[in-house]
Amino acid sequence: MRLAPLSKYLRDYHGKNRPYKSNIIIARIHPEVDGARLNHVVSFGMDELTKPYDNFEIMRIGIHILFHISRRTCDRKYICSELVYECFNNIGIPFRLPDEYVSPDNICQDRQMQMQMKMQYRII
């Protein structure tokens, strides 16, 4: 995993001098998290950034969607949505998941999330 500024996704994703080719959503969790719990979310997330990115999780999610097989493993590797899920689950705010996988859409569709801004990639 790595930490990258939002500006990198908006202007120069992967050094190609263009933005990330998908939606970027900024949201708030409701009810709002108090300062101490938010600090715990950030601290836990920063500690977990040392864990490796799970390159095979996207493939497992695809296999699960197509064939309804495979199981999510707790291997301490993450894709971005899993890290967000674990950060909030760690303070007792789990997102409701339709199955055992955590996708960005699962988090975005959760009733606790209130969208603040949505940006879409456009070719000019």
pTM for the complete prediction? 0.76
Mean pLDDT of all residues belonging to the chain:
83
Q: Is the model's pLDDT at 123 over the cut of 60? A: no
Superfamily (CATH) of domain 33-112: endopeptidase domain like (from Nostoc punctiforme) (3.90.1720.10)
pLDDT in tens, 55-104: 787 787 777 778 777 666 667 788 888 899 999 999 999 998 887 788 88
If DSSP states are collapsed to H, E and C, what string results for the chain?
CCCCCHHHHHHCHHHCCCCCCCCEEEEEECCCCCHHHHHHHHHHHHHHCCCCECCCHHHHHHHHHHHCCCCCCCCCCECHHHHHHHHHHCCCCCCCCCCCCCCHHHHHHCCCEEEEEEECCCCC
Extents of the domains making up the chain: 33-112
